[in-house]
Structure 1
Amino acid sequence: MRETARATDLLDWYDRHARDLPWRVGPRARAAGMRPDPYRVWLSEIMLQQTTVPAVKPYFEAFTARWPTVSDLAAAADADVMAAWAGLGYYARARNLLKCARAVAEEHGGVFPDSYEGLLGLPGIGPYTAGAIAAIAFDLPATVVDGNVERVMARLHDEHTPLPQAKPVLTDMAAALTPQQRPGDYAQAVMDLGATICSPRNPACGLCPWRPSCAAWEAGTAAELPKKAPKKRKPTRLGIAYLVRRVDGAWLLERRPDKGLLGGMLGWPGSEWNEAPGEAPPIRAEWKTLPGEARHTFTHFHLRLTVKTALVPMDRPATRGEFVELAEFSPSDLPTVMRKAYDLARGS
């Protein structure tokens, strides 16, 4: 009964304070009979993985304008999708995005499965994403647990077990609260609560609909939860990026292998990334080493790139990559680390 009352209190709060997001059907529209588009829900959830809402909004709007349905996306060229994704990071998501879109188009007639199990069987969709789509798009009582929900549950129950060890118990807590009525709105409500009220720093407990039953608020421990295990120190890797320009303005670029970091993305030819990279020039040239470095942080390591530039004649063959005409070259199509190398060269 207590869980039912909590869900009701949260839904009442959500009806008044739901965020206006481009992929969301708000509570008023939903009550009037409008249903979310599973394609838009899926696309937003993939984009939002380890990425913030403000960063995702322009990408989501650009994708849905260019590819308004999952079948449109499935028919898109890989290179076009990878270029449109550039800058959003975690590029394996873009590769899996295409695999999933094509599976939906080819195996499901362009219609997303309407069950948790069916969604879980699609490429690139794990338990969290399957639960989110099942709840938000199909109003199924699936348990949805992202970082916001973990934080809310840890504080609501004053749970001090550190993450990631606490994930199973926090998921159980979230499952116990998930209602049979309006589960899609509830899933979005608890995520909104974590994003806007029960924030990582300085939670606005005075505005929280769950404050009267929040164990951490009662104990005065909300600001220190959830506990997290100490992070391992990230190693630093070094590399060399070779920026080659032909006398007619064309740039030498290569597409990275599909598997691995930045898989399938265009970038500058370069060395391996390790503690002592060897020279690996893609063309015979007189190289100029630029002052400074292009620095970037990936999930598991820091990268420091030495940038070398060269100007070559029209008839000079490259051993790697292909020249892209200046009119067809767009720095925005490059992943962030490659744009940093370009910016360093442009400013030299």
Structure 2
Amino acid sequence: MAGTATGLLPAQQATLDAIRTPSQQRPVYHNDFAIELRQQSEDALAQVVDTARELDSRGLRIAKRDLAGVFGCEARHLADAEVPFEWSVPTARGTVLHKAVELSIHRPFEPTDGVNAAVERLIADDENLGSFLADSSVGERADLVAGCVALLTRFSETFPPMQRSWRPAAEVKARARLCGGAFVLSGKYDLTLGTPAPMGGPDGGQRAGKVIIDLKTGSRSPTDPEDLRFYALVETLSVGVPPLGVGSFYVAEGRIEHEAVTAEVLDSALRRTVDGIGRLVALRSGDREPRRVPGPPCCWCPISADCGPGQVWLSDPDD
């Protein structure tokens, strides 16, 4: 990410300071780094490839939500997968904000205009969410727009204005196929800044330069750092160069939690991903009895009424 900004508000400057790394301090990776990382991943997954192909011949898709699910309450994760997703004002809020941020990258908007433009684009482009937005009541639409305007205003006051030289991009889809397509790691980055660059010269190498950012409109989750490390792994496997850093930007707080990506971070993400995929394959094939882990998610779990540990927790959550 190149370039500097002047006249920033204190929160904007703090965010910029957290994510900006001078070019000479950015790590350089040899050309075979991602190839070796892919080989490690595929070697570790070899023993579950056949079972995965039986489960889905098109490739078992793995997203950050799947990994978070199997490292939490496995029974709830399986139950959630059976419940059709339904849009609501709270679930739509984040997507509308992301679209408004995406549009604002290319054209400055006042928050209200930006949110209304985002809603109109989603109605036109997103068949699923668009139907909900188009059919929503006047009250629902007003509630959604008001909430997103407040979030976008907060974002504009605490995130530095994005310059073209930073090469900002929003809603970036990424995939990495492993083991001949038996596994497909997938993600969608809310925002990216910067880009890697080849070093050239006789030794070659690639200098990291991209920062991947998740925009968080809700509360913090313990899995947020691990979700971003998974994104760093997907990015490395798909692009061939690790990102410079990853971060969760909590819009209501106006604060970013940033982590520099290193070989050690990627190794940790790889081991967690391989472990999680093994658990997912065993659960979906019926070779593993799902664990039940009671906690706050029991309050909205679809099977809590029939879950013994969940009912015990709900009867006395402070115990």
- The answer to whether the superposition gives a TM-score over 0.5 is no
Superposition TM-score, scaled by structure 2 size:
0.26
Which structure would you say has the larger RCO, counting Cα contacts within 8 Å and 6 or more residues apart?
2
Which has the higher Rg, Structure 1 or Structure 2? 1
Larger strand share, 1 or 2: 2
Superposition TM-score, scaled by structure 1 size:
0.24
